[in-house]
Structure 1
Amino acid sequence: MKKLITFIFFSLLIISYQIVKAQEDELPKNWTEFNGKIGRTFTESEEDYPQPIQPSKEAPNIILVILDDVGFGQTSTFGGPIATPALDEVAEEGISYTQFHTTGVCSATRAAMLTGRNHHQTGFGTISEMSTGFPGYNSIWEQDAASIAEVLKANGYNTAAWGKWHNTPDWETNQTGPFDRWPTGLGFEYFYGFIGGETSQYEPQLYKNTLAVEPTLKPEDGYHLTEDLSKDAIKWIQQQKSLNPDKPYFAYFSTGAIHAPIHVQKEWIVKYKGKFDDGWDAMREKTIERQKKMGIVPQETQLTERPEDIETWEEQSEDEKKLYARQMEVVAGYLAHTDHYVGELLKAAKGLPGGENTMVIYVVGDNGASGEGTPMGTINNMMVQNGFPDNLEEQLKVMDELGSKDFENHYAVPWAWAGCAPFQWMKRVPSHFGGTRNGLVISWPEKIKSKGEKRTQFHHVVDIAPTIYEAADIQFPKKVNGATQIPLAGTSMSYSFEDAEKESTRKTQYFEVGGHHAIYHEGWVASAFHGVPWKFTGSVGFDSVHWELYNVEEDFSQANDLAEKHPEKLKEMIEIFDQEAKKYNVYPLDDRYAERALNPLRPSITRGKKHFKYYQGTTRIPEGGTPPVYSKSHSIKSKVEFKNGDEGVIVAVGGNVAGYSMYIKDNALHYTYNFFNRERYNITSSIPLKEGENEIELIYMQESDAWGGGGTAQLYINQQCVGETKINKTVPIRFAVTETTDIGMDLGSTVSEDYIGPFKYTSKIHYVEYIIR
């Protein structure tokens, strides 16, 4: 009997341990067992109140900063020509990593960083707008890859995010959701920023949590998005530390800068006047000299050769040199401005309770500098992405206004190449380090005692999440919200905090975006380049893939291709890539770009529909959810109430980048079609609207099959044709990334120069109805 009792006792003990252990392996933690006493009255009872989850007593506040489209050789911290004193300060109080890597493109890097899994494991082998129906590329972030925010929140942290997101499927970025793949559905308790890949820095399309909001200031009042984000983040952190100073926070600060549009005020641009007059070749040479002097790169590092597709500075005309130097001055001002306001945030956080126990992880770019601005740059990035090249003459006309709200400007490819010095290539080319090598700085005054030191261990953005978990003393759970978790692909970097010489824990890492692919393994890299990153159509194909081989332990910059010298090593590396690709959902490789955007199988709330009906006050519809009128015959009909003097927008799509607007002003009906801010086609009704109810209509008939070809537009009031014009050129793919569709007003920048936004209609709009013919 005694043996039986002992057996039962230990069995119960084991079961209890297993239950506790299972609960420890699962989030959120549910300690539901009541251990008090319930009697007939409260005097005979004992309370057992469920207590909030408590983080580790030494858990740090965590600020994770990531910039957009910043090359390895652009910031002063990593030897570049652009002063970044705030970043310099973080590096001086912490450690800088000179062999840290991203994925080569924005959404993929962010997904990998926020989950600790490789980007194809989260469905982000590409950006959502280019997604395809394969597990590694569908842009659907599943619950089996819980975010850092979700895990930290369940372990007693407050969590918040600011700025660029770009990790929600394109078809879910509208006010009908679903919202489970928005920031607040993925563990962030607060979000203030923009959901897509880019936005105007002066007239942004913002959300607070899941609600669309407009900036309180106008560009003429000095508004800029980076400053707004910084101030809002400071406010949130100050409030958090006011209310619960002992509770740690996780703040994810993700700027839209320095992604196009390159927007910054003139006072920041003027600081760099004349600094780039000697061109991109000289910039690269000066950068590597500084990098060697600072210990960023080994002394024997070679400056990689110029790709044959990139021209020398000396080949440019005097007018070209003048324009290109100005483009780079604007970029430099933009980055300097960004650094300043990130610095303001970090300074404020440092001065609050727990400031010394604040871990700052600063990722200096989500990929290399962007070469998407074409070889000569552009004043309208959407125009070139629709297949219409820019030209020197048009850019020279407005050169002094670059950086203002009126342009979606981008800089010339050679500057992006120079900004990635000493490496080959740039953003969207993950086969080479120019696309994936980014600066990383980590400071944590209370724990990291090394100051101003460099770290050369090879690491990848998937290593950020495990590093955070170790710092917060969190064992990664096996289940989160009931979903069994994919194991982390990353490895913690904390071993390197105090040991510069310790061997890297990351031995292998694959890279792939847009068909470009590479494999790193124990000091070697095999690289397969797949076409220049400023071409947006066509496929190179995979029948004949040219591989290069580099020993990066001896050749920091990938300057010496050893493929012919070591064919067996190359074969081994290709086999390792194949293994990793199969393991992490990389196949099938796909090097298309614009063609992916037109994928007929991607979920859509508009595809296949010919009839759409909207009601007054429906605003901020992303273009992916807008009637696809591109180079197609269509009609837009509305019924409106009107009395003398009523005015305002009936419907507006896009903005000053491109778009169209139907509006009432001076008692007349108007229609404007904006072709990339190059040509505006206008119709004004020949008669006024009548008092009372009016049926108004725009009928457009496409008459040309040419790319961007045009047709005829007619305006009607109460079935009477009251105006007509030829529209010679139309937008074939997309009006804008930074603008939306609005019923009854024109938010953001305005399509027409004839009114000032939002130009809200002053009477009733019964409906706005589209028919695609």
Structure 2
Amino acid sequence: MSHRRLLGIARLTLTLLSATALSVQAGAQTANGRTPAESPPPSWPQEPRAPKGAPNIIVIMTDDVGFGASTSFGGPVPTPTFDRIGKEGARYNRFHTTAICSPTRASLLTGRNPQEVGMGYVANWATGYEGYNSVIPKSAGTIAQILKANGYNTAMFGKGHVTPEWEMSAAGPFDRWPTGLGFEYYYGFLGADTSGFEPSLVENTRPVTPPAERDYILDRDLADHAVRWIDEHEATQPDKPFFIYLAPGTAHAPNHAPKEWIDRFRGQFDGGWDVMRAQVVARQKALGVIPKNAADAPRPATLPRWDSLKPEQKRLYARYMEAYAGSLAFADDQIGRVLRAIQDSGQAENTMIVYIQGDNGASAEGSFDGKLFEQTALAGATGSIDYAINHIDQIGTKDAYNLYPGGWGWAMNAPYPWSKRYGSHFGGTRNAMTVMWPGHIKDPGKLRSQFLHVSDVMPTLLEVAGVQAPAELAGVKQQPITGISFAYTLSDPNAAPHRTQQIFAMSQNLAIYKDGWVAATAPMVTPWEKTRPKPVPLEQRQWQLYDIEKDFSEAHDIAARHPAKLAELKDIFWAEAAKAKMLPIHASEGGQDGRPDVSEGRTSFVYTQPVTEIPETGAPPIVGRSFRIDAEIEVPAGGAKGVLAAHGGRFGGYSLFVDGEGRPCFTYRYTPEHVTRIVGYAPLTPGKHRLSLNLKLDREEKTSGGNATLSVDGAAAGNGRIDRTFALIVSHTEGFSVGSDPITPVDDAYQSRTSAFTGSIGRIEITNPR
């Protein structure tokens, strides 16, 4: 048979087969009641679309900034970005936070009281009670999750501080990292604070090192990333609205800023905190942010008067405040860069900006003298004022982790009593806020005085976005939102407040607001007492009473004149506390037994390759116990240097390393004032070695001293005495690493960026008793 005939038969067969297939397909479709002509057109899954006209939204929150810190609220720190928003939009002088970081941030994101979402205290001091365990439940969906589900792009930059500490490692889970809380992109730090010059950073869910720039500083870096994200968003999908949460972490310790910004304030605080507070109150009255008849709250009896201080104290304390002012002013400048990027993108007219100046009142945690190193208190040590005076030029630089004396916090919280941590009084809970939304605010620049709470922000944003709070989110039924939208204040600055009641509970400092009255517990301990008084049982605590419609600043306790009103408010407090999951009221130190521990039961930690920045809760637990490090390494012919294992950094930690001369070394940095370095007797020879460090404590308990011994291949190679060890943690900012010390160096003998071990690491094991 010819080739041409075979080809013809094949073509005919294919034609018959195709016709048969079409007939079968048509028959099947007909059997299902549908013919080919009736088939639906192709369709694709669609992304959710935001409601028509939904604005872009940016929420900005600074850290540890008192009501009286910013210029437009009478303060000494120029904040032109914050001030401009208030001038062109709205200012609020009765906005309230929760008195400390994590609860405010959780309440902001979820629209609920903090204990209702498990965040009754800071995440790093969580306790095992439902309202305080730091685990935001899936039944409390965040503003980012809801807006994302309704057609918004979402991004966060800066401080998180709402992730449970035991969930911060690479093992996750990541549900309560920013990316798990609804932010499609995250760049910042998860903990309470970090260095402005050498920060511990996370991008999405991975640790990253900051750019190697000579003049690097975190607030500029955060602004750079935010601007880049805005530019990329506008280049790809400009019609899709975005939600940005910018939380720089300034002006929490450490108060870092470029030197020229700190030097702008040289000499401006030499008059002291007494004079500054009086000036702030006078300016507040002149600006109209407090009533003309408002009295300055009484001065704490335990706070040292400025004129009682020695000249060297005044010089040191003033420099601390100069650094604080420089850091806040610089942060405001960088926030301005982000807002200019929105302006340049052409989106400013359709963008709502909420700028909250502080997540609580200004801090008094610096106590009498301030702190050159915030970590000193975590180490259970007392910093030397003489040491600080001799290192005064380090304040505001990478070599310090400075926090000002508490007197400045009292001054910046004018005209209110108390400070951060005191949820009982407005010095801890009242913060300045400005809002701008072009074309939607009546009487721009006019003061709004409705009583508001940070939980009100989330429902406000949902209302302006035209989005309903869902009854169910990602398959989980949602708990009620207790926040109340304040969108009504935008169009009516004089509207009657929708919020008539609010409960506050921070540790054992309690308050209830109801229809113009406040009942509050008198604090047991002031920030300036060197000796803590004996605790007073909760049922015996003194309560104070304020009529804040007549007494704006809580200056006059009238409990003795109105016992019935006080009793009524106390009853309301306890009823509301039960509903808001605030019970049991307890100190932050209690209830931590049994906390989740990713290292539970482990006595050996083995690493066979370099790792970086394992957080404290995933690192070998060496606090209060003896431990041993065994490193199997190989030294090349030319010698080796670098870090084998390190935890922490410049402000506290330990490091096993090989120095530039090839000698094995161990450094234990209890604080920057207490550093022990043990140097090996001789350089390591080329070849394989087993390098060991054994730290044997006198007693298996926190802060105990001990003896450290270095050995090489079983032979003693060096030893030394460590007089005191860590009291609580190794480091709250820098993790554990193998093969390098990537953020800041534990020992000044090496630099972090060149700290990688230049030999080979076969195996490193850290063992400790349980």
TM-score (norm 2): 0.93
Task: Give the residue type in structure 1 aligned to 2:762.
Answer: H
Structure 2 residue 582 is matched with structure 1 residue 586: yes
Structure 2 residue 184 is matched with structure 1 residue 184: no
Residue 350 of structure 1: how far off its partner (Å): 2.1
CA distances 1:282-311 after superposition (whole Å, capped 9, x unpaired): 111000100000010000100111112211
| Residues 633 and 700 in structure 1, CA contact (< 8 A), matched pair in contact too | yes
Question: Can you give the 5+ residue segments of structure 1 that lack an aligned partner in the other structure?
Answer: 1-36
Task: Give the residue type in structure 2 aligned to 1:590.
Answer: H
Alignment of 1:286-325 (within 5 A): 286-325=279-318
Residue 554 of structure 1: how far off its partner (Å): 0.8
| Residues 428 and 533 in structure 1, CA contact (< 8 A), matched pair in contact too | no
When residues 656 and 483 of structure 1 are mapped into structure 2, their CA distance, relative to the original with a 3 A threshold, is same
Secondary structure, counterpart of 1:729 in structure 2? coil
Structure 2 residue 110 is matched with structure 1 residue 115: yes
1:278 match: 271
| Residues 378 and 727 in structure 2, CA contact (< 8 A), matched pair in contact too | no
Alignment of 1:180-579 (within 5 A): 180-218=175-213, 221-532=214-525, 534=527, 539-579=535-575
When residues 39 and 630 of structure 1 are mapped into structure 2, their CA distance, relative to the original with a 3 A threshold, is same
Alpha-carbon separation, structure 2, partners of 1:530 and 1:625: 36
Task: Give the residue type in structure 2 aligned to 1:672.
Answer: T
When residues 719 and 539 of structure 1 are mapped into structure 2, their CA distance, relative to the original with a 3 A threshold, is farther
1:741 match: 736
Alignment of 1:757-772 (within 5 A): 757-758=752-753, 759-772=755-768
Alpha-carbon separation, structure 1, partners of 2:563 and 2:556: 14
When residues 539 and 655 of structure 1 are mapped into structure 2, their CA distance, relative to the original with a 3 A threshold, is farther
| Residues 540 and 591 in structure 1, CA contact (< 8 A), matched pair in contact too | no
Residue 626 of structure 1: how far off its partner (Å): 1.9
Residue 600 of structure 1: how far off its partner (Å): 2.9
When residues 355 and 678 of structure 1 are mapped into structure 2, their CA distance, relative to the original with a 3 A threshold, is same
- Higher alpha-carbon deviation: 541-550 or 509-518: 541-550
Given candidates 44, 53, 66, the residue that maps to 2:48 is 53
Alignment of 1:599-638 (within 5 A): 599-638=592-631
Residue 592 of structure 1: how far off its partner (Å): 3.7
1:33 match: none
| Residues 740 and 747 in structure 1, CA contact (< 8 A), matched pair in contact too | no
Alpha-carbon separation, structure 1, partners of 2:510 and 2:733: 30
CA distances 1:201-247 after superposition (whole Å, capped 9, x unpaired): 111111111011111124xx111111100110011011111111111
Alpha-carbon separation, structure 1, partners of 2:627 and 2:428: 42
Alpha-carbon separation, structure 2, partners of 1:760 and 1:698: 19
When residues 693 and 308 of structure 1 are mapped into structure 2, their CA distance, relative to the original with a 3 A threshold, is same
Secondary structure, counterpart of 1:438 in structure 2? strand
Alpha-carbon separation, structure 2, partners of 1:604 and 1:531: 33
Q: Indicate the percent of aligned positions where both proteins have the same amino acid.
A: 39
Alpha-carbon separation, structure 1, partners of 2:408 and 2:690: 52
Alpha-carbon separation, structure 1, partners of 2:518 and 2:692: 60
1:648 match: 642
Given candidates 640, 650, 655, the residue that maps to 1:661 is 655
Alpha-carbon separation, structure 1, partners of 2:640 and 2:208: 26
Structure 2 residue 152 is matched with structure 1 residue 171: no
Structure 2 residue 120 is matched with structure 1 residue 134: no
Residue 58 of structure 1: how far off its partner (Å): 1.1
Secondary structure, counterpart of 1:415 in structure 2? helix
- Higher alpha-carbon deviation: 494-503 or 472-481: 494-503
Residue 347 of structure 1: how far off its partner (Å): 1.5
Alpha-carbon separation, structure 2, partners of 1:400 and 1:685: 34
Question: Can you give the 5+ residue segments of structure 2 that lack an aligned partner in the other structure?
Answer: 1-31
When residues 48 and 696 of structure 1 are mapped into structure 2, their CA distance, relative to the original with a 3 A threshold, is closer
Secondary structure, counterpart of 1:387 in structure 2? coil
| Residues 230 and 341 in structure 1, CA contact (< 8 A), matched pair in contact too | yes
| Residues 700 and 711 in structure 1, CA contact (< 8 A), matched pair in contact too | yes
| Residues 502 and 514 in structure 2, CA contact (< 8 A), matched pair in contact too | yes
Residue 49 of structure 1: how far off its partner (Å): 4.2
2:20 match: none
| Residues 117 and 140 in structure 2, CA contact (< 8 A), matched pair in contact too | yes
Alpha-carbon separation, structure 2, partners of 1:386 and 1:431: 28
| Residues 141 and 181 in structure 1, CA contact (< 8 A), matched pair in contact too | yes
When residues 382 and 690 of structure 1 are mapped into structure 2, their CA distance, relative to the original with a 3 A threshold, is same
CA distances 1:347-375 after superposition (whole Å, capped 9, x unpaired): 11122133201000111100001111222
Alpha-carbon separation, structure 1, partners of 2:169 and 2:575: 38
- Higher alpha-carbon deviation: 255-264 or 458-467: 255-264
Residue 705 of structure 1: how far off its partner (Å): 7.6
2:142 match: 147
Task: Give the residue type in structure 1 aligned to 2:349.
Answer: E
Residue 683 of structure 1: how far off its partner (Å): 1.5
Residue 57 of structure 1: how far off its partner (Å): 1.3
Alpha-carbon separation, structure 2, partners of 1:533 and 1:636: 43
Alpha-carbon separation, structure 1, partners of 2:727 and 2:57: 44
Task: Give the residue type in structure 2 aligned to 1:732.
Answer: A
1:12 match: none
Structure 2 residue 151 is matched with structure 1 residue 161: no
Alpha-carbon separation, structure 1, partners of 2:85 and 2:406: 30
Alpha-carbon separation, structure 1, partners of 2:548 and 2:442: 29
Alpha-carbon separation, structure 2, partners of 1:52 and 1:247: 11
CA distances 1:85-122 after superposition (whole Å, capped 9, x unpaired): 11111111100100000000110001001010110011
Structure 2 residue 720 is matched with structure 1 residue 725: yes
Secondary structure, counterpart of 2:723 in structure 1? strand
Higher Rg of the two aligned structures: 2
When residues 45 and 592 of structure 1 are mapped into structure 2, their CA distance, relative to the original with a 3 A threshold, is closer
Secondary structure, counterpart of 1:416 in structure 2? helix
Alpha-carbon separation, structure 1, partners of 2:444 and 2:143: 27
When residues 707 and 478 of structure 1 are mapped into structure 2, their CA distance, relative to the original with a 3 A threshold, is closer
| Residues 38 and 45 in structure 1, CA contact (< 8 A), matched pair in contact too | no
Residue 709 of structure 1: how far off its partner (Å): 3.5
When residues 449 and 42 of structure 1 are mapped into structure 2, their CA distance, relative to the original with a 3 A threshold, is farther
Alpha-carbon separation, structure 2, partners of 1:384 and 1:137: 23
Structure 2 residue 668 is matched with structure 1 residue 670: no
Q: How many correspondences in the alignment?
A: 732
Secondary structure, counterpart of 1:356 in structure 2? helix
Alpha-carbon separation, structure 1, partners of 2:319 and 2:525: 24
Alpha-carbon separation, structure 1, partners of 2:547 and 2:105: 28
Alpha-carbon separation, structure 2, partners of 1:609 and 1:751: 25
Task: Give the residue type in structure 2 aligned to 1:183.
Answer: P
| Residues 364 and 439 in structure 1, CA contact (< 8 A), matched pair in contact too | yes
Task: Give the residue type in structure 2 aligned to 1:263.
Answer: H
Alignment RMSD: 1.7
Residue 42 of structure 1: how far off its partner (Å): 7.3
Alpha-carbon separation, structure 2, partners of 1:669 and 1:279: 49
| Residues 330 and 402 in structure 1, CA contact (< 8 A), matched pair in contact too | yes
- Higher alpha-carbon deviation: 243-252 or 684-693: 684-693
Residue 127 of structure 1: how far off its partner (Å): 1.2
When residues 302 and 204 of structure 1 are mapped into structure 2, their CA distance, relative to the original with a 3 A threshold, is same
When residues 419 and 615 of structure 1 are mapped into structure 2, their CA distance, relative to the original with a 3 A threshold, is farther
CA distances 1:701-725 after superposition (whole Å, capped 9, x unpaired): 1126896341211101001011011
